[in-house]
Amino acid sequence: MTGLKTMLNPKVTAVVGVSTTNPFSPGNVIFRKLAFENGLPTYPINPKGGTVEGVAVHKSISAAPDGIELAVISVPARFVPSVLTECGEKNIGSVIVVSGGFSEVGDTGASLQSEIVAIANKYKISMVGPNCIGVFVPEVLDTFFLPSERVARPRKGNVAIISQSGGWLIERLEEFASRDVGIAAAISIGNSAQTNVTDFIEHFGKDERADVILAYVEGFGSGEGRDFVEACKKIAPKKPVVVLKGGESEAGHRATQSHTSSLAGDNAVSKAAFNQYGVIHALDEDEVMAYAKVFSFKSKYMMGSRIGTLSVSGGHGVIASDEASHYGLTMPPFSEDQQAAMREVMTPAYRGIASFRNPCDLTGSASDMDYEQVLEKMLGFDTIDAALLLLLPYAPGISLQIGARVANVAKRYKKTVVSYVPDLDKYEVIIRGFELNGIPVGDTIEEAVQMLNGIRMRSKYLQHIGKI
Residues 295-314, interacting with a second copy (CB under 8 A): 311-314
Residue 274: which of 328, 239, 204, 225 has the closest Cα? 225
Kindly report the number of other CB atoms within 10 A of residue 460's CB atom.
16
- 180 is an interface residue for a second copy by CB under 8 A: no
Residue 236: which of 464, 5, 7 has the closest Cα? 464
Burial 147-161 (b: 16+ CB within 10 A, else e): eeeebebbeebbbbb
Binder among 78, 122, 254, 414 for a second copy (CB under 8 A): 254
Residue 371: which of 434, 324, 454 has the closest Cα? 434
Residue 108 beta carbon to a second copy: minimum distance, rounded to whole angstroms: 10
For a second copy, the closer CB: 143 or 164? 164
Q: Which of residues 437-466 bind a second copy (CB under 8 A)?
A: 444-446
Binder among 21, 139, 208, 249 for a second copy (CB under 8 A): 249
- DSSP H helical segments within 8-124, as ranges? 26-32, 80-89, 107-122
For a second copy, the closer CB: 23 or 237? 23
Residue 98: which of 115, 85, 79, 111 has the closest Cα? 79
Binding mask 185-224 for a second copy (x = CB under 8 A): -------------------------------x-x------
- 101 is an interface residue for a second copy by CB under 8 A: yes
Find the helix or strand (DSSP H, E) in which 170 lies: helix 166-178
Rounded Cα gap, residues 381 and 389, in angstroms: 16
Under 8 Å between Cβ of 199 and 232: no
Binder among 12, 151, 345, 462 for a second copy (CB under 8 A): 151
- 352 is an interface residue for a second copy by CB under 8 A: yes
Segment near a second copy (CB under 8 A), from 8-16, 122-130, 149-157, 269-277?
149-157
Under 8 Å between Cβ of 183 and 157: yes
- 100 is an interface residue for a second copy by CB under 8 A: yes
Helix (H, G, I), strand (E, B), or coil: what is residue 133? coil
Residue 199 beta carbon to a second copy: minimum distance, rounded to whole angstroms: 20
Q: Which of residues 272-291 bind a second copy (CB under 8 A)?
A: 284-286
Residue 12 beta carbon to a second copy: minimum distance, rounded to whole angstroms: 27
- 163 is an interface residue for a second copy by CB under 8 A: yes
Segment near a second copy (CB under 8 A), from 83-91, 121-129, 386-394, 406-414?
386-394
